[in-house]
Amino acid sequence: MLNWSIRLFRVAGIQLAVHSTFFLLLAYFAWEGWQDASSVGASGLIGALSSASSVLFLFIFVIMHEFGHAIAARHYGIAVPQILLLPIGGMAQMSAIPRNPWQEFVITIAGPAVNFAVIGVMMIFAPFHTEPIMANLREFLGLQVAAGTETDLHWPQLIMLINLLMGCFNLIPVFPMDGGRMLRAALASRLPYVKATFIAATIAKVLAVVGILLALFWFTPARYQTAILFGFIYFAGQTEYRMVKRREEEDERWRKTLDELHARTIVLPSELPPQNTP
Ligand SMILES: [Zn+2]
């Protein structure tokens, strides 16, 4: 499945590629934009183009986020041959898994850090005028917005809102989000890796159940989609733990085999007939 991708261009030696399913996402948004525009008597084509381009605009920040991970990984000598764009987001594909908890923490936090840095830069263009951002955030969370509140976003505010949501969403301490990996890395600095993953995955599963309940009973917009997303997060936690445990068991088997081989090579000279030394 991962091979169904189209290579775009290279940036700083990193190949940017798009998975073919990404075009389904674009097609879906284009179709929705066409329908929405047509229903109010506007041009369907313009509606489709503007809806699809808003997805592309969003992915500019996804790419920047992934480059944050990639640059931090390269800092520790881990090669990042490719950044792959999927309908659910981006994926910086690394040549090795960072086993040092501190390195994993830095590589992981570097993604959301880019989003917050973008917010910082946008503050220069829209300094402290956060009222429309907060109003849109309240709307997004299904909360009441007081009448007369300014809700129109200018482009720096729109970029700030996108990056605020992207940065915060990725910091939720669940797998496969950055927050889950950061929590695991923090725990792994004091605990064995498998145990740290078990605790992080358990916390993630509890949060996923809380998320499902909140989505169904409080968070009104996109209720079922959000509940399904948290359902996916629940299973992602379980999968991550199983994967780490299996990898650790395989490593352990290899260690034992190598120990046995090592023991044999040490035994070997004593099995040789004694040599006469002059
Ligand atoms: Zn990330």
The DSSP secondary structure of 243-272, one letter per residue, reads HHHHHHHHHHHHHHHHHHHHHHHHHHHHHS
Contact 90, 112 (CB under 8 A): no
pLDDT, one tens digit for every residue, the chain (278 residues): 556 888 888 888 888 888 988 888 888 888 988 888 888 887 888 888 988 888 888 899 999 999 999 999 999 999 998 998 888 788 888 888 787 899 999 999 999 999 999 999 988 876 667 777 778 877 777 777 777 777 777 788 888 889 999 999 899 999 888 999 999 999 999 999 899 999 999 999 999 999 899 888 876 667 788 888 889 889 888 898 999 899 888 888 888 888 877 777 665 555 555 556 55
Quote the pLDDT of residue 110. 96
CA proximity to 89, closest of 186, 183, 169, 203: 169
Quote the pLDDT of residue 11. 85
Please give the distance, rounded to the nearest whole angstrom, from the Cα atom of residue 128 to the centre of ligand 1.
Answer: 27
Quote the pLDDT of residue 75. 92
Contact 72, 110 (CB under 8 A): yes
Take residue 247 and report the two structure tokens written for it: 């990898």
CA 28 to chain centre: 22
> What separation in angstroms does the CA of 223 have from each of 5, 92, 171, 217?
32, 30, 21, 8
Please give the distance, rounded to the nearest whole angstrom, from the Cα atom of residue 120 to the centre of ligand 1.
Answer: 18
Please give the distance, rounded to the nearest whole angstrom, from the Cα atom of residue 33 to the centre of ligand 1.
Answer: 28
Name the active-site residue from 66, 131, 248, 271: 66
d(CA 185, CA 208): 20
Please give the distance, rounded to the nearest whole angstrom, from the Cα atom of residue 64 to the centre of ligand 1.
Answer: 10
Task: Tell me if residue 191 falls in helix, strand or coil.
Answer: coil
> What separation in angstroms does the CA of 168 have from each of 101, 161, 177?
22, 11, 10
Q: What is the side-by-side order of every strand in the sheet holding 5-11?
A: 5-11, 14-19, 82-86, 89-93
Catalytic: 66? yes
d(CA 104, CA 175): 14
